[in-house]
Every structure is written in C-alpha cells, then in structure tokens.
C-alpha cells in the first residue's frame, strides 16, 4: 500500500511539473495549491528542523537523558516491577515520538491530501478529481499514525538481529566457559552431597548371593551386602541398630579370561571380600539416622570419590585456557593487521601528498618557464617589428 502511494505521489508530482512547464496559465484548484503549499511548508520545516537539530542535538540529548532519569526515579506501582532497561527504552521511544511529532503529522497530512485527489482522472483544466472516502478523516489519520509509528518499525527489527555466523561465534566462545561452569558446579554439588553423609559402624549380616563384573577398562566386582548399622542414642530414641543393604565395588586382583577371548568368559577369581561379622565402613545420611526416610546407605566410600569431577574440571579448564590463548593470538594478529593497514594507508597518503606537491611544483615550474619563453618571444617580436630599431641597425651597418 505504501509503495503504491509513493509511486502515485511521484507520478502526480511529475505530472504537475510537466503541466506547469507546458501550460503555465491554466487554472488550479484550491486543493492542489493547498497541497503544494503544504509540501513546501513541510520541506521548509524539515530543512529548518535539520539545521536546528544539528546545532541543538547535544542539549536535546542531555535534556532527554535528564527527563528519563527523573521518570525512572519517580516510577510508581507496576512500573517499578519492569526492568530498568525496558523502561528506559520505552521512555526514550516516547521522547523520540514527541520530538518527531510534527514530522509525522506532516507526513500523514501529505498522504491524506494525496489520497483525496485522483491524479489519473483529470478534468478539462488538468485538475485532479476529488475522491470521497467512506471512512472519516480522523480514523484514516489514526490508521496511518499506527502504520508509521508502530507497524513499520517491526520490519526494521531483522536488521538488528545478529547474523548466524556471529551467533555461532558467540556460542563457540561461550561453550568453554559454560563447560568450566558446569564442571565446577558438578564438583561443588558432589562435594556438598558427600558432606551430607556421616560415617557409621556397620557389621556384615549376610553375604551377596552373587557377584557381578563391573567396569570396562578397570575390571571391578560388585556385590550387595546386608549389614547391621548401629546408631547412637538420641532424646527421642535409645541406641539400637537397623538392618540395611549396601552395594560394594572392589577392584579385581586376578582375572581368568577363559577359553575364548569373549568378555563373557572373563571371571574374576581374586578380589577383596568380607565375611559374616566383619566390620565394614559405611556412610549414612545425616537426616536419616534411623533409616526411616529411605536414604541410600553407602559402603567403603561416600556417594562420590570426586575423581571424575576433578578430571572434568581440569580438562575443561585446559580447554578454556587454550581457547583464551587462541583468542588472544587471533585478536593480536587482527590488531597487527589493522595497524599495518593503517600505516600503509598513512604511508600512501604521505606518498600521494608528496606526489601531489611534486606535481604542483612541476606545473608551477612549467608555467613559469612558459611565461618566461612567452615574454622573451614577445620582446623579440616587438624588437623585430620596431622600425626605429631596424633603421638604427642599418645605419650602424
């Protein structure tokens, strides 16, 4: 719609200029003269506004910042709940609308006056026919105001969205930092979880019914023991014991690989085990002393040995350091390239300036030589054309 109006406006302006050049004595309608005067006044106001804005830009910016700061401090009610950045953007936008209200109003008036006349349908005096609209003028004015102020800026949003390459580069830069943060969080969480468990006294009540192989690179044996854990007396309950199960993982000391090389034939034949009545180190949750909350009981070690967490933190930190070093090297090379380009441009500018000065000096020298030769030729010609000089030369001879 706006492109059609712009095309029609340009076509109408060219036709009006052609009619003025071909028939200057034709009659003009009051509406067309009013439209032209409005356009001229709008142009004059735009030019004068541009000149004044150039001289008063700093004062207006300072005044707007002061007004925005005062509005942010005086915010009440729900306005305080909005982020300050969003409120600042909204206030800045409202101030910009107030500052450009006259320009927007002139543009809307020009559009409305252009639509009030059909420049494709001319009368015998080459005046456009007036167009009557069903919608009232105030509603059309509001429509174009919403179109210019609220709808058109939406099409400018994509140009502020960063490119895919920039997003990828940002994500690539944040990945090592996120990895270090995640590994550090995992380490802190595991350390906190270990701190929730307390050492207890456990005695083996029942041996595992079967042992299972665990681990791929490091062969281990896993078995579930039934233990009896004693707890100290409390104001709520006297001392006693509770029967719980715990899983125990131990390293395999000797492995029988069987007749084939298949992993199913491998069998651990020597590993650490406990018999009935042996003391076994166990760890229970400090909030589940009596085993009523169903918290898991750990034997030999706490929930985590922190080995995986520490290795993850070290590896992610090394990757981050390598990434930082690579970024510093790339930035240093880019800065060196930029400085080199700046030096090359400066050297080229100096050479161009010297060349221009040499060319100017050469032109001045050639001009002076040409003037000198011209003066000598004129003097020689004048001497040759003087009859007195020729007669004196003949008498002397």
How big is the chain by its Cα radius of gyration, in Å? 47
- Per-residue pLDDT tens for 260-270? 766 677 778 88
The predicted structure's pLDDT at residue 5: 42
Contact in structure between 12 and 114 (CB atoms under 8 Å): yes
Per-residue pLDDT at 325: 93
Q: What are the start-end ranges of the E strands in the chain?
A: 117-122, 128-130, 197-206, 212-214, 220-231, 240-256, 267-271, 279-285, 298-299
Count CA atoms within 13 Å of residue 338 on its CB side: 6
In angstroms, rounded to a whole number, what is the distance separating the alpha carbons of residues 103 and 257? 89
pLDDT score recorded for residue 4? 40
Q: What phi and psi, each to the nearest 5 degrees, are found at residue 82?
A: -75, 150
What is the SS3 assignment for 246?
strand
How confident is the model at residue 272, as a pLDDT?
86
Residue 188 CA to residue 193 CA, distance in Å, equals 9
Question: Phi and psi at residue 214, in whole multiples of 5°?
Answer: -135, 150
The 10 Å Cβ neighbour count of residue 387 is: 7
Within the chain, what is the greatest distance between any pair of CA atoms? 159
Q: What is the per-residue pLDDT for 318?
A: 94
Specify whether the CB–CB gap between 149 and 104 falls below 8 A: yes
Given a cut of 70, the residues of the chain with pLDDT beneath it are 1-57, 60-61, 63-87, 160, 216, 258, 261-263, 383-397
Give the pLDDT of residue 25. Answer: 38
pLDDT number for residue 60? 67
Please answer whether residues 90 and 71 qualify as being in contact, where contact means their C-beta atoms are separated by less than 8 angstroms.
Answer: no
């Amino acid at each position: 719609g706006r492109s059609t109006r712009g095309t029609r406006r340009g076509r109408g302006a060219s036709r009006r200029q052609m009619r003025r050049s071909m028939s200057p004595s034709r009659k003009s309608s009051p509406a067309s003269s009013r439209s032209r005067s409005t356009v001229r006044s709008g142009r004059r106001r735009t030019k004068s506004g541009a000149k004044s804005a150039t001289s008063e830009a700093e004062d207006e910016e300072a005044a707007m910042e002061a007004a925005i700061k005062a509005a942010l401090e005086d915010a009440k009610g729900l306005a305080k709940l909005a982020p300050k950045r969003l409120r600042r953007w909204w206030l800045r936008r409202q101030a910009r609308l107030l500052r450009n209200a006259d320009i927007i109003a002139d543009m809307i008036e020009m559009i409305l006056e252009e639509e009030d006349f059909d420049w494709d349908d001319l009368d015998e005096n080459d005046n456009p026919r007036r167009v009557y609209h069903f919608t009232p003028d105030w509603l059309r004015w509001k429509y174009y105001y919403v179109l210019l102020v609220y709808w058109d800026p939406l099409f400018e949003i994509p140009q502020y969205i960063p490119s895919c390459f920039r997003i990828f580069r940002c994500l690539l830069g944040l990945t090592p930092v996120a990895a270090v943060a995640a590994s550090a969080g995992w380490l802190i969480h595991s350390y906190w979880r270990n701190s929730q468990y307390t050492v207890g006294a456990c005695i083996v009540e029942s041996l595992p019914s079967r042992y299972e192989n665990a681990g791929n690179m490091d062969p281990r044996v896993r078995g579930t023991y039934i233990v009896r854990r004693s707890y100290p007396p409390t104001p709520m309950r006297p001392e006693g014991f509770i029967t719980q199960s715990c899983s125990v993982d131990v390293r395999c000391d000797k492995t029988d690989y069987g007749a084939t090389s298949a992993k199913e034939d491998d069998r651990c034949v020597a590993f650490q085990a406990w018999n009935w009545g042996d003391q076994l180190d166990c760890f229970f949750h400090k909030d589940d002393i009596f085993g009523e909350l169903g918290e898991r009981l750990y034997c030999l070690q706490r929930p985590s040995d922190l080995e995986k967490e520490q290795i993850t933190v070290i590896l992610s930190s090394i990757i981050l350091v390598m990434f930082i070093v690579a970024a510093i090297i790339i930035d240093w090379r880019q800065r060196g390239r930029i400085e080199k380009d700046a030096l090359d441009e400066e050297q080229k500018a100096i050479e161009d300036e010297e060349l221009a000065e040499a060319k100017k000096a050469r032109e001045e020298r050639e001009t002076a030589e040409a003037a000198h030769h011209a003066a000598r030729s004129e003097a020689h010609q004048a001497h040759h054309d003087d009859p007195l000089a020729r007669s004196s030369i003949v008498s002397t001879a």
